[in-house]
Structure 1
């Protein structure tokens, strides 16, 4: 079922245009630069931090939606201690205490998520519940790099659908529960929700 009318005219038309939008956002770039200082293995910023920016642009919002948190992910099989993640969060808070940091080592997150072990941070991101959340960015040589394994046209049109990992009878309820709990349509009414 599709609820609400979709974004009629795509505002973001390409991955390169999205990179330009991110690079022109001073706050986003400052957050990326701050995380890059930790030099974590296979690090990325993922999920709602980027998704919400895209949806704000699609809705032509002048004031950005407040961050619930900034999801910093990395992949390190040599240290699976949750306490290490907390040390990184403390360091990020020391560098910028105004950001609600959340740091997670994707090498251990399969235990919480009840899946097979992830092979990398990108493997974990690809297995997030809904496609527009399964996106991540980082800085490489001071340039923004984006990873998104799904349909950019759908992403730029505000379409929300489950990733293939959740589009099955075993996991679709997790996706549907998230849709209900997050209630994204109340903040971004032009979204097209596939349920």
Structure 2
């Protein structure tokens, strides 16, 4: 079975130097999907960019998404005809873009696509994430057909969370992306 290329899907404003995604890019050689505008994300533009990257990949891919990147995975999967190329998705700390304050800050992403993902997925969230209540994270996991992992306290599971190279996240990604689903 061919090894999956890991696509890093950062959220709004990208992932900075101390973020686990940036560390994975450096340590594991993962591929960050660069977006045209990190500050004013447009769902259609971000989805089109992800589609281009998936089509250009020579083999299977796995997603490691954070925050808005999780919402992107659901939106992209609902419209793409290339979901068969995805071995699995690690969905970390999705932002609740249906919440009034976030909807105003990042318009055009609500409602969140809520249909089951056509590939294995795990959603990891902290119970004290300031951008998404624990019950909302659990509901997104259920709607997407993702296994839910509660990390306890950890905030938004970003650089400020002190995850470093985040071995547990990598382990979960490897578990879902190396299973033979065919």
For normalisation by structure 2, the TM-score amounts to 0.31
Q: Is the radius of gyration larger for structure 1 or structure 2?
A: 1
For normalisation by structure 1, the TM-score amounts to 0.30
